[in-house]
Chains A and B, each alone.
Chain A
Amino acid sequence: MSQRMILSAGLRRSLAATTLVVLVVIYVPLALVLVNSFNADNTFGWPPESLTLRWWKLAWHSQGARDALWTSIQVALAATAIALVLGTLAAMGLRRTRFFGRNVVSLLIILPIALPGIVTGLAFQNGFRTILGIQLSLWTIVIAHATFCIVTVFNNVQARFQRLGGSLEQASMDLGAGRWTTFRLVTFPMLRSALLAGALLSFGLSFDEIVVTTFTASSHDQTLPIWIFQNLFRPNQAPVVNVVAAVLVVASAVPIYLAQRLSGSTAEGLTGAR
């Protein structure tokens, strides 16, 4: 424990206090959403005068919310599948060209993360509608989502490659295994947990995305975030929206739990992107 004593006691106490305050500020608004989903007052006056399960029943039967949830799951699955294949291929391809064009590539990887979503979204809408003349549909959402999902998969896979090097695969090739056999028996098992983390992150990103989605969705394709946003300002829908929000707060524990089970370290791979 001695190495933990590098800061003075007073400073450690004030850091601990600040940490506590920040954590409270982080969690109080989320807790409010949970409590308000039981708040009997449909304008959510605080403190709640009485509690009810009515809104949860109402939300359970809301067809709009159910449809939107299903759309979101479809989009997220498709975008994740595309990102897994292309992101892995990109990382594998880049392994061989170590020096050539590396700076260009790293900039290319950073851009979709660093540029605001509204720029990406508008660029895609413009590309689809004005330049290519394609009608917006579920597929245009999937293509746009896949673009930033590729980045996350690529980052995860590339980090794994850098850590493990290529000697195992060389050994496999030396022992007479072909390219495909090597991939199937050596490379893929090596990447498995990185791919799972990348897939989890991609799914989460796509599921939650609203800005790019707004720009690339046609008017009758509603993902869950779009449904929430459209119903947010309708007073009679507010309690249902609040229940959906509460469900999403609780559901956010699932990927964290999965990631813990998966790698034992949450920090790796799950922090690199929005």
Chain B
Amino acid sequence: MLWLGVAYLGALAALLITSLWTQDDFTGTIQRAWTLENFRTLFTVEVYRTITVRTIAIAALVTVVDVVLAFPIALYMAKVASPRLQRLLVIAVLMPLWASYLVKAYAWRGMLSADGPIAWIASPFGLGTPGYGLVATTITLAYLWLPYMILPVYAGLERVPDSLFEASADLGGGAWTTIRRVVVPMAFPAIVAGSIFTFSLSMGDYIAVKIVGGTGQLLGNVVYDNSSTANNLPFAAAVATVPIVVMLGYLAAARRTGALENL
């Protein structure tokens, strides 16, 4: 407990403090003078605003794609598959979770490359690969975080009693009505729990962006470039507060749906 409290929160607090310092342009050393300069740059310079909006939009899009893909497979696992098939499917979903993150991002670099499989399949239809860019980033991130959505939603759907399905059917609810008015509301906290992962992981990603993202940068790249290449730690710290604030807001909203108990 103490480790977490001291090491982790201490480091976070120090990060916030550093974001209020500034950097000497000539010597590259950090000057410990209080200033809001970093935040002013962050909010007024056009490119940072664009990147912030773009990052949040992509994180939201990835989350939506994952919900749409995860819900049917989770429903199938929880309510249709036989116990034996259920076990196999859980393994099938867990397995790629253990495959290295880098390998999966790298796999999509191969999939989307100019003479890769997607271009090969699409070319007879006169289409091509989307190439490396924001579309590729969205696909890859949605792929990477899909299991983090499937597993909580599956666990949430398992807890929905079968009798509710029957009750809804008895009361004249068709399949779609039942799903829309009974199943989705009951699984909602689990969906939100999954979305915490997909949203947060997308917000901070910069590796997948570097591998498949082409020139379309996200906030993570700004943080990384400023902390390593430009060696401007205070500004990197200021940029990093954006995902912190967004995630705290997200967690506060998620708390009200009771999603945190589903983690």
Residues B143 and A25 in contact, CB atoms below 8 Å apart: yes
Do A127 and B11 form a contact, CB below 8 Å, given A19-B76, A25-B143, A115-B244?
yes
Residues A211 and B4 in contact, CB atoms below 8 Å apart: no
Partner-contacting stretch, out of A38-46, A51-59, A168-176, A182-190: A38-46
Q: Does A69 count as interface, using CB distance less than 8 angstroms? A: no
How far apart are B183's CB and chain A's nearest CB, in angstroms? 10
Residues A119 and B76 in contact, CB atoms below 8 Å apart: no
Number of residue pairs A-B, CB distance < 8 angstroms? 255
Q: Does A206 count as interface, using CB distance less than 8 angstroms? A: no
Q: Does A8 count as interface, using CB distance less than 8 angstroms? A: yes
- A12 vs B240: C-alpha distance when bound (angstroms): 45
Q: Across the interface, which residues of A come within 8 angstroms of B203, CB to CB? A: 116
Query: What is the size, in residues, of chain B's interface with A at 8 Å between Cβ atoms?
Result: 89
Residues A32 and B9 in contact, CB atoms below 8 Å apart: no
- CB-based nearest B residue for A94: B1
Q: Does A134 count as interface, using CB distance less than 8 angstroms? A: no
Please pick, from A6, A23, A29, A117, the residue contacting B92 in the complex, using a CB distance under 8 A.
Answer: A23
Please pick, from A44, A120, A225, the residue contacting B116 in the complex, using a CB distance under 8 A.
Answer: A44
Do A122 and B237 form a contact, CB below 8 Å, given A30-B96, A32-B110, A130-B18?
yes
- A126 vs B98: C-alpha distance when bound (angstroms): 30
Indicate the member of B5, B8, B116, B203 with the most A CB atoms within 10 Å. Answer: B8
Residues A147 and B111 in contact, CB atoms below 8 Å apart: no
Residues A8 and B175 in contact, CB atoms below 8 Å apart: yes
- A124 vs B9: C-alpha distance when bound (angstroms): 10
- CB-based nearest A residue for B15: A123
Residues B96 and A115 in contact, CB atoms below 8 Å apart: no
Residues B204 and A232 in contact, CB atoms below 8 Å apart: no
Residues B111 and A32 in contact, CB atoms below 8 Å apart: yes
Residues B165 and A115 in contact, CB atoms below 8 Å apart: no
Q: Does B115 count as interface, using CB distance less than 8 angstroms? A: yes
CB within 8 Å of B: which A86-116 residues:
86, 90, 93-94, 105-106, 108-116
| Chain A contact surface mostly | helix
Residues A143 and B197 in contact, CB atoms below 8 Å apart: no
Partner-contacting stretch, out of B34-42, B46-54, B67-75: B67-75
Q: Across the interface, which residues of A come within 8 angstroms of B174, CB to CB? A: 8
CB within 8 Å of A: which B52-72 residues:
69, 72
How far apart are B48's CB and chain A's nearest CB, in angstroms? 16
Residues A105 and B113 in contact, CB atoms below 8 Å apart: no
Please pick, from A28, A90, A119, A211, the residue contacting B244 in the complex, using a CB distance under 8 A.
Answer: A119
Partner-contacting stretch, out of A73-81, A191-199, A244-252: A244-252
CB within 8 Å of A: which B197-256 residues:
197, 200-201, 203-207, 211, 220, 223-224, 227, 233, 236-237, 240, 243-244, 247, 251
Residues A119 and B3 in contact, CB atoms below 8 Å apart: no
| Chain B contact surface mostly | helix
Please pick, from A8, A131, A146, A241, the residue contacting B106 in the complex, using a CB distance under 8 A.
Answer: A241
Chain A 131-170 near chain B by CB (<8 Å), digits 1 or 0: 1000000000001001100110000000000000000000
Residues B223 and A118 in contact, CB atoms below 8 Å apart: yes
Residues A22 and B200 in contact, CB atoms below 8 Å apart: no
- A111 vs B138: C-alpha distance when bound (angstroms): 25
- A27 vs B97: C-alpha distance when bound (angstroms): 12
Please pick, from B1, B15, B223, the residue contacting A93 in the complex, using a CB distance under 8 A.
Answer: B1
Residues A118 and B14 in contact, CB atoms below 8 Å apart: no
Residues A115 and B247 in contact, CB atoms below 8 Å apart: yes
Q: Across the interface, which residues of B come within 8 angstroms of A147, CB to CB? A: 3-4, 7-8
- A244 vs B93: C-alpha distance when bound (angstroms): 22
How far apart are B254's CB and chain A's nearest CB, in angstroms? 9
- A15 vs B4: C-alpha distance when bound (angstroms): 42
Residues A15 and B80 in contact, CB atoms below 8 Å apart: yes
Do A6 and B162 form a contact, CB below 8 Å, given A47-B120, A86-B3?
yes
Q: Across the interface, which residues of A come within 8 angstroms of B80, CB to CB? A: 4, 7, 12, 15-16
- A120 vs B237: C-alpha distance when bound (angstroms): 11
Residues B96 and A26 in contact, CB atoms below 8 Å apart: yes
CB within 8 Å of A: which B154-204 residues:
155, 162, 165-166, 169, 174-175, 179, 196-197, 200-201, 203-204
Q: Does B130 count as interface, using CB distance less than 8 angstroms? A: no
Interface residues of A (CB under 8 A from B): 1, 3-4, 6-8, 10-12, 14-16, 18-19, 22-23, 25-30, 32-33, 36, 43-47, 86, 90, 93-94, 105-106, 108-120, 122-127, 129-131, 143, 146-147, 150-151, 204, 208, 210-211, 214-215, 225, 228-229, 232, 241-242, 245, 248-249, 252-253, 255-256, 260, 266-267, 270-272, 274
Can you list 9 pairs linking A and B with CB atoms under 8 Å apart?
A22-B69, A29-B110, A109-B4, A116-B205, A126-B14, A127-B15, A147-B7, A229-B102, A274-B197
Which 4 A-B pairs rank lowest in CB-CB distance, beginning with the nearest? A116-B204, A29-B107, A127-B11, A252-B98
